[in-house]
Amino acid sequence: MYPPVHPAAIRNRSVSNRTAAFVPSRMAIPLFARFPLGKSARIAARWNGKSFCKYRSCTGGRPFFAANADALQNISNPRTIGGTRELIGNIFLKYLQFFRLRKCQNSPSPTLLVSPSTNPVRLPLMSLVKIHQKALELATEHHKSHPIETFLDIGAGCGELVQLLRAKFGNKSSVCDYTDELMRVEDQKVDKADLNTEGLPYPDNTFDLVTTTEVIEHLEHYRETLREIFRVLKPGGLCVLSTPNILNINSRLRFIWFGYWNLFGPLPVRNSALYSTGGHINPVSYFYIAHSLMDAGFDDVRPHIDKPQRSGVFKLLFFWLPIKLFGARAWSREVNRFKTIDKDNAPIVKAMNSTDLLTGRTIITSSVKPKQVM
């Protein structure tokens, strides 16, 4: 028997021609589903190193999940973003597994979603997993000095982070997003708000914790949102936000060669469908995030990362010395000639060329609302 299945949050993104997704692992038997070329979704199972396919066996043997495969035949061909999300949602809500993409050499359809527990191919997992783990870690640490009873997740999407926070701090959770159609947590109400045009729909001093992961890069006026977060936080409350780290070495090199940061590219003109960059319209570096938070009134602003990029670590071996040498020269000019660095912003400027920011995939910033607000 499988453990009871609860609604899970799913979010997916495209990486080149691959799509990855994440949900909490709740099932011992790995399962993978094929992206179909025809009109239906297909399922295969992998067990003890053998693969079994509903329609074509990769290594021989009967399919483990024939009944489950039959139940998924009504899924339409996912040729669009919506179709892909529908396919992933239906499969993952049913089995609650980690999945990756892999190539199936014996399959007429080359792309497969596969459980990493048996997948020998090393492919990237969804970046949100590490981001949410870091956000939970920061909240847990803050909970020791300031108990977290109520919390808000802005831009919660399907509710992955909300589930993690609920498991740790209880169910006094609030969610704010531009739509309630993405939420997969059954008993979670979504307060709809367009943060490009309106503020947060909550009274002052309401929450002990506010999280907003991968949101500010979608906003036209992120500084106003940070001021709103400060308003709704209780004194002593914690804010955790994340955004793509445009200052890692890979992103800096891409900007030199192409003029665009990683995860930010040319946007379509006079077109509201910004799928080409995932709706990323506002690249914000750590300095301006920290400056905005401090300007809003926050203290104890600290940068963190979800994980270092291995490719970035390798490249940094070649660029470390030039960055330090030219960085020191630039620092001296800013201090002595332009007078732009002072005791207040010096720690933020110094962090700009730190190892974390030069290698980190995502920048995660924590800050605290002072207990005595001026």
In the three-class reduction of DSSP (H, G, I as helix; E, B as strand; rest coil), residue 77 is classed as coil
Residues 173, 37, single domain; the answer is no
240: how many CB neighbours lie within 10 A of its CB?
25
CA-angle at 210, arms to 251 and 157, nearest 5°:
65
The pLDDT-based confidence of 182 (bands split at 50, 70, 90) is confident
**Where does a domain end: 82, 114, 146?**
114
Q: Please check whether residues 302 and 171 belong to one and the same domain.
A: yes
CATH of residue 198: 3.40.50.150
Predicted pLDDT at 48? 33
Beta carbons of 304 and 351 less than 8 angstroms apart: no
pTM above 0.85, yes or no: no
State how far the Cα of 261 lies from the Cα of 353, in Å rounded to an integer: 16
Same domain for 131 and 74: no
Tell me phi and psi for residue 203, to 5 degrees: -70, 170
> Residues 312-339, buried b or exposed e (16+ Cβ, 10 A)?
beebbeeeeeeeeeeeeeeeeeeeeeee
In whole angstroms, give the CA distance from residue 241 to residue 294: 14
User: Which DSSP string corresponds to 119-137?
Assistant: --S--PPPHHHHHHHHHHH
| Region of poorest pLDDT, from 36-40, 77-81, 358-362 | 36-40
Q: What is the pLDDT of residues 8-25, one digit of tens each?
A: 322 333 322 333 333 333
Two tokens at 222? 């992120």
Whole-number Å distance between alpha carbons of 132 and 143: 16
Q: How confident is the model at residue 274 (pLDDT cuts 50, 70, 90)?
A: low
Task: Look at 91 and 157; give whichever has higher pLDDT.
Answer: 157
- The single-letter DSSP state of residue 167 is H
Range of the domain at 171: 127-308+354-368
Q: Is 84 helix (H, G, I), strand (E, B) or coil?
A: helix
Same domain, 136 and 263: yes
pLDDT at 46: 35
Domain final residue pick, 114, 142, 165: 114
Answer yes or no: is 242 within a domain.
Answer: yes
How would residue 372 be classed by pLDDT, with cut points 50, 70 and 90?
confident
Of 53, 82, 114, which closes a domain? Answer: 114
Residue 321 located in a structural domain = no
Q: Are residues 278 and 174 in the same domain?
A: yes
Higher pLDDT, 177 or 21: 177
Both 86 and 142 in one domain: the answer is: no
CB 21 within 8 A of CB 91: no
Domain count for the chain, please give it. Answer: 2
Beta bridge partners of 173: 151
How would residue 34 be classed by pLDDT, with cut points 50, 70 and 90? very low
Strand partners, 47: 50
Judge whether 21 lies within some domain. Answer: yes
Looking at every residue in the chain, the average pLDDT score rounds to 73
For residue 147, what are its two tokens?
Answer: 């108990």
Does any domain span residue 364?
A: yes
Q: Return d(Cα 96, Cα 115) in angstroms, integer.
A: 11
Is residue 5 domain-resident? no
> Which of 131, 98, 132 lies closest to 26 in space, CA to CA?
98
Query: Based on the domain organization, do 31 and 99 belong to the same domain?
Result: yes
The secondary structure element, H or E, covering residue 327 is helix 310-333
* 185 occurs within a structural domain: yes
Query: Among 163-172, 263-272, 359-368, whose mean pLDDT is lowest?
Result: 263-272
Domain assignment of residue 325, yes or no: no
- For the stretch 203-221, pLDDT in tens is 999 999 999 999 999 999 9
DSSP output for 231-251: HHEEEEEEEEEEEE-TTSHHH
- CA distance linking residue 132 with residue 213, whole number of Å: 8
Q: Are 138 and 366 in contact (CB under 8 A)?
A: yes
Tell me whether residue 357 is exposed, middle or buried, using C-beta atoms within 10 angstroms of its C-beta: 0 to 12, 13 to 18, 19 or more: buried
Residues in the chain: 374
Domain co-membership, 263 together with 158: yes
Residue 333 lies in a domain: no
Question: Taking a C-beta distance cutoff of 8 angstroms, is the pair 43, 34 a contact?
Answer: yes
Q: State CA 213 to chain mean position distance.
A: 6
Answer yes or no: are the C-beta atoms of 90 and 53 closer than 8 Å. Answer: no
Q: Is 268 exposed, middle or buried (0-12, 13-18, 19+ CB in 10 A)?
A: exposed
